[in-house]
Amino acid sequence: MEYEQTVTGAPAVSAELAADRRTYLKERSIRYVWFLTAVFGVLTVFFILAFLVKDGILIFAETTPAEFLFGATWNPTGAIPAYGTLPLWVGTILVTIGAMVIAAPLGIACAIVIAELASPRVKAVIKPAVELLAGIPSVVYGFFGLIVLTDFIRVNFSIPSGETWLAGSILLGIMALPTIISVSEDAISAVPKEYREGSLGLGTTRWQTISQVVVPSALSGITAALILGVGRAVGETMAVLMVTGNAPIIPDPIYNILSPIRTLTGTLGIEMGETAIGSAHYHALFGVALLLLFITLAVNLSATMFLGHIHRKQTGTGKGPGRLSLVLEAHRRTIRWGVAAAAFLLVALIVSPLVAVVFALIGVAWRYIPSRIEPHHQQTVAFVLLYGAIAVVLAALAVILGYIVVNGLPAISWEFLTTAPRALGREGGILPAIVGTLCLVAGAIAIALPIGVGAAIYLIEYTRENVLTRIIRTGVDLLNGTPSIVFGLFGFSFLVLYLNFGVSLIAGQVTLALMVLPTVIRTTEEALRSVPDSLRQGSLALGATQWQTISRVVLPSAMPGIITGAILSIGRAAGETAPIMFTAVVFSSRFLPSSLSDPVMALPYHLYILATNVPGADTNQYGTALVLIALVTGIYLVAIALRTHYQKSIRW
Amino acid sequence: MNMRSKPFIAFTLAVVLLGTAFVCGCTDSGTGPAETETISVTGSTTVLPLAQLTAEAYMDTHPEADIQISGGGSSVGVTAVGEGTADIGMASRDLKSEEVTNYPDLVQHVVAKDAIAIIVHPSNTVSDLTVDQIKSIYLGDITNWQDVGGPDETIVVVGRDSASGTREYFHESVMDKEDFTTSQLEKNSNGAVRQTVAQTPGAIGYVGLGYIDATVKAVPVKTGSGIVDASVATVISGEYPIARGLNMFTDGEATGLAADYLAFIMSPDGQALVAEEGFVPVA
């Protein structure tokens, strides 16, 4: 008996071992693949950085680093060339601050309404509307800004020209909104129901629950949303160069929002194309691109530190408060009053004493009056303000869309959609541009989605926070903040020239894929994070392997968030002009693309050329804008339908 | 293992669909004739309209030809042809010394001339400007239209970006290489300059001849010999003081389709199209 058992048992054991080993190898190799995708982001950043440094460093043969950074004159083609970037980076910072002043309160308010207050039916209208805002290409924003917004500002503020810091900030604010709203909303929705129920059960109003429980719990996600928004604003090229006037001056006085300004991206956007390769001016522009990256790095690093702080505070794990935060905590009152006094003085000196007093009164009211007003009245006021924010956002969308639809509809005909352009695009249609855009976007997403989702899976599911993940995250952050025009420069110098792809579909797809990669990673990370740990533990406890847990339990649950990321990416890729301008597009091509090495026509570039280079193409230009927006809407509708389906089928 | 949840299948499907769309859309849709010859023309946005119109006309009579035109700027054009990524490079300026060093084999073809017109808002009553007055305005010395015979209005100075071939020519021929006022609004294309001038009552700008239309007013230039309008005729006669050549570059002498295409541009038919678009014929 004993002998028999051993004989029959041995093969079974070795088979089991082999199966174990296979599972182990499979798990290892899957982990390895995701690790590679995660590292990809970092390598890309170093690669881009190396290319920029290689060309940018040479400017210091012409000028000193101090002169380059703090020189007040940017005039690279003057009789005596001057390469001072001070007005450029000050302009970038000012226009971004302005944009966030507009977008942060509006965006967070909208996210709160969508996540907490709106009925499903209202939500079904607002959410797609906001995503549509993301789908409006920057070149359309820029053109709208140039024709409508700057004129509005010029007339209403009675100034000689409406091309101002203010115009840039308004446009950038609107453009940063969808990112802020979508990501904040995901974060707020992910706050566990129990928090709300607990708070409401204690007898608070809904507004008290939202403002004291839900929003603070979602703060890390909201901060991530704001960072993404800043990244969007800092990196925007086409819209900003069309409305800020591009005068390389520092506003005088510095708070003069009606002064023209010039940003770092604007400088690259308008000067790069026509600068002789290898000239001092060319190297100076690569220096500008480097500076842009360093600003992004500074913003992102400080934000990462801030996020880490919140994370520690929330989870209660980690090292506990450091000495600095203990000191800060001890002097909290003093610091708060100090900051308030400094802000008061600053506003009084810069804007006007009257405005400062008004702000101070609002501040005092904010601090002391709520305790005297009944919670329900507070709630009414808060809700009115929140819905007001929604109304502002929807109105902006309605104005921009209405303008394009009204002007664009007369151009639309069957012929317009199915023929190639003629006479510089004044006549004929845009079929090759439609096909080209679809190819560019599909290729970019096909490349970016697997890599991005894989990287996020590795970061969230396979590792704990350590030096490596911090480096990867920083790399992704930096990639996220990298302006699209820089991707364009990189694509041109690396893919088109160095790898000798030529101006081609594949070069554009890769460039666009790199550009949307961080969005895919960040939103997927948020989505994975929002999946409760209990689900993973349950699955693992039942004996599932890690990959089984991820693929069968975690990913399906995180799908709505991942799809949101894909939607945002598609919207961005379809509308971008700067990254494809030097890498993929031709103004006209007689035939549809037949291979990846062919250049293509694309709708945003076609619109850009019609709007700025072809006299007398007004009708077709609005028609192209309308088709571009309709196309993006179509893509969005499919994605939104998919997401709604998931949201209905997932419950925990 | 058929336990995979529906969402995951749907997700996979979505990725596959995207991939298929991208493959089908891009590799199976070649509808051109079997034996097409393709050349690419890239560079200056000022030359682009000219290249596009002539290419369309040429392709109408040569169904096997595929001429692809793209913009990007004069330097993109020079680099692209120099590096071999394009067959013809367009530039609204001559080669710079670095470019001559980097790409010694480039051959220049002057395909047209272009006047640079001074434009103002249609409501502006200014009747004419001397080159010196234009220079003073762009230096920032004259800041009100009153000082040059116009209305009492602040002058909004609009120019091209510092890398523009058009600006470079303006800088040399009008400004004597002196620096522009720092408060100048800078635009990255002719069309954007015209757009700004058309909607800003106090603005002044400069654009190629082809960009003049009813939305702006071209100011005649006062020279020693009289008041000269910006037009094809005055450029040909040499009276209009602010004019320059538009170039196409090839790497070595042009061959094949590129040579045929360049020959077509220089032919009477091609030059007629050049004139139609508002440029000045050279042959």
Lowest model confidence (mean pLDDT) among A72-76, A213-217, A270-274: A270-274
Rounded CA-CA distance A510/A585 in Å is 13
C-alpha radius of gyration, chain A, whole number:
27
Mean pLDDT of A571-576: 82
Mutate to test the interface with A, among B22, B119, B146 (most CBs of A within 10 A): B22
Instruction: Please write down the HEC assignment for all residues of A525-556.
Output: HHHHHCCCHHHHHHHHHCCCCHHHHHHHHHHH
Between β-strands B226-228 and B243-251, what pairing exists: parallel, antiparallel or unpaired?
unpaired
CB atoms within 10 A of CB A21: 10
CB contact under 8 A, B186 and A246: yes
CATH of span A412-652: 1.10.3720.10
Contact B73/A248, CB-based, under 8 Å?
no
For residue B228, the distance in angstroms to the closest alpha carbon of chain A comes to: 23
The pLDDT value given to residue B4: 41
List of chain A residues whose C-beta atoms are within 8 Å of the C-beta of residue B192:
146, 242, 612
Any idea which residue has 């600053």 for tokens?
A: A346
The pLDDT confidence band at residue A578, using thresholds 50, 70 and 90, is confident
Show the tokens assigned to B125.
């009553």
Q: What is the mean pLDDT of residues B166-195?
A: 88
B149, pLDDT greater than 80: yes
| Domain covering B115-243 in this structure, CATH number | 3.40.190.10
Minimal C-alpha gap between B27 and chain A (Å): 5
Confidence of residue A306 (pLDDT cuts 50, 70, 90): low
Tokens in use for A53? 């440094």
CA pair distance A370, A363, nearest whole angstrom: 11
CA distances to A17, A57, A401, A534, A619 from A540, rounded to whole Å, are 20, 52, 49, 10, 61
CATH number of B37-113+245-276: 3.40.190.10
Write out chain B residues lying below 8 Å of A438, CB-based: 21, 25
Q: What is the 3-state secondary structure (H, E, C) of A420-477?
A: CEEHHHCEECCHHHHHHHHHHHHHHHHHHHHHHHHHHHHHHHHCCCCHHHHHHHHHHH
Task: Give CA–CA dist A47/A57, Å, rounded.
Answer: 15
Tokens of A596: 């990846």
Q: How far apart are the first and last CA of chain A?
A: 51
**Closest residue, chain B, to A238 (C-alpha):** B188
> CA of A423: which chain B residue's CA is closest?
B53
Strands annotated E in A38-148: 74-75, 82-83
Instruction: Please state the rounded mean pLDDT for residues A41-61.
Output: 85
Identify the bridge partners of residue B154 per DSSP, sorted by sequence position.
Answer: B144
Name the pairing type of β-strands B221-223 and B185-187.
unpaired
Q: How far apart are CA A577 and CA A137, in angstroms?
A: 8
pLDDT grade, residue B54 (50/70/90)?
A: very high
List the single range of A322-326, A523-527, B100-104 with lowest mean pLDDT. A322-326
Mean pLDDT of A632-639: 73
Contact A425, A614 (CB under 8 A): yes
Under 8 Å CB pairs connecting chains A and B tally to 258
Strand bridging mode A427-428 / A421-422: antiparallel
User: What pLDDT shows up at residue B182?
Assistant: 87
Nearest chain A CA: its distance from B272 CA (Å): 14
Provide mean pLDDT across the span A392-412. 91
Mean pLDDT of B201-213: 89
Does the pLDDT value for residue A37 go beyond 60? yes
B42: which chain A residues are within 8 Å (Cβ-Cβ)?
Answer: 503, 586
Interchain proximity A161–B185, CB inside 8 Å:
yes
| CB nearest B68 (choices: A146, A163, A588) | A588
| B43 strand-pairing partners | B72, B90
CB contact under 8 A, A272 and B213: no
Q: Chain-wide mean pLDDT for chain A?
A: 83
Contact list in B for residue A154 (CB cut-off 8 A) is 199-200
pLDDT-based confidence at A299, cuts 50/70/90? confident
CB-based contact B119:B217 (threshold 8 Å): yes
- Per CB-CB distance under 8 Å, the chain A contacts of B182 are 73, 75, 247-249
For residue B173, the distance in angstroms to the closest alpha carbon of chain A comes to 13
Specify the pLDDT at position B138: 95
Which of A582, A613, A616 has its CB closest to that of B45? A613
* Range(s) of chain B covered by CATH 3.40.190.10: 37-113+245-276, 115-243
Query: What value, to the nearest 5°, has the Cα angle with vertex A610 and ends A604 and A612?
Result: 100
B contacts of A151 (beta carbons < 8 Å)? 199
User: Which residues in chain A are closer than 8 Å to B138, comparing Cβ atoms?
Assistant: none
Cβ–Cβ of B7/A616 closer than 8 Å? no
- Closest partner residue to A274 (CB to CB) among B55, B67, B163 is B163
Flag if B31 and A592 touch (Cβ within 8 Å): yes
Cα–Cα distance measured from residue A500 to residue B148, given in angstroms and rounded to the nearest whole number: 54
Q: What value does the mean pLDDT take over residues B202-225? A: 90
Assign B238 to helix, strand or coil.
Answer: coil
Tokens 């800003």, located at residue = B200
In what order do the strands lie in the sheet containing B129-130?
Answer: B129-130, B221-223, B226-228
Closest-CA distance, A120 to chain B, in angstroms, reads 22
Tokens of A404: 């394009």
The answer to whether the CB atoms of B161 and A79 lie below 8 A apart is no
For an interface test with B, give the residue of A86, A274, A550, A585 to mutate (most B CBs within 10 A). A274
Q: What pLDDT does A574 receive?
A: 87
B49 to chain A nearest CA, in Å? 6
pTM (two decimals): 0.80
How far apart, in whole angstroms, are the C-alpha atoms of residue A265 and residue A289? 8
B182/A609 CB distance under 8 A: no
Q: Do A594 and B190 touch (CB under 8 A)?
A: no
In angstroms, the CA A558 to CA A453 distance is 11
Q: Which residue of B has its CA nearest to A500?
A: B85
Amino acid A398: pLDDT: 92
Residues of B in contact with A263 (CB under 8 A): none
> H helices of A482-617, where?
484-490, 505-529, 533-541, 546-549, 555-575, 578-581, 603-613
With CB atoms and an 8 Å threshold, state whether A502 touches B85: yes
Find chain A residues with C-beta within 8 A of B155's C-beta.
160
The whole-number average pLDDT for the span A331-349 is 73
Pairing state between β B217-218 and B221-223: unpaired
Residues 6+ apart with CB under 8 A from A24: none
A224-251: average pLDDT: 85
Q: Do B30 and A594 touch (CB under 8 A)?
A: yes
Q: Is the pLDDT of residue A650 over 60?
A: no
pLDDT at B219 over 90: yes
Percent of chain A past pLDDT 70, that is, above it, reads 89
Domain boundaries, chain A: 323-372, 412-652
Task: For residue range A84-142, list pLDDT tens digits in order.
Answer: 999 999 999 999 989 999 999 999 999 999 998 888 888 888 887 887 787 788 888 98
Q: Nearest Cβ partner of A551 from B8, B161, B192?
A: B8
By C-alpha distance, the chain B residue nearest A563 is: B11
Distance to chain A for B150, nearest Cα, Å:
15
Q: Enter the DSSP assignment of A241.
A: H
Which of B30, B67, B185 is nearest residue A592 as measured by Cβ atoms?
Answer: B30
Q: Do A559 and B7 touch (CB under 8 A)?
A: yes
CB-CB neighbors (< 8 A) of B174 in chain A: none
The least confident of A75-79, A307-311, A414-418, A619-623 is: A307-311
Q: Taking residues A163-169, what's their average pLDDT?
A: 93
Q: What was the pLDDT predicted at B257?
A: 93
pLDDT in tens, B76-134: 889 889 988 889 999 988 888 888 998 999 999 999 998 899 999 999 999 999 999 99
Q: How far is CA A385 from CA A207, A379, A382, B85, in A?
A: 12, 10, 5, 56
The pair of three-digit structure tokens given for residue B189, joined into one six-digit string? 């294309």
Inter-chain residue contact A590 with B163, CB threshold 8 Å: no
Tell me what the mean pLDDT of segment A188-205 comes to: 88
Which has the closest alpha carbon to A575: A444, A454, A480? Answer: A444
Q: Which residues fall within 8 angstroms of residue A470, CB to CB, at 6 or more apart?
A: none
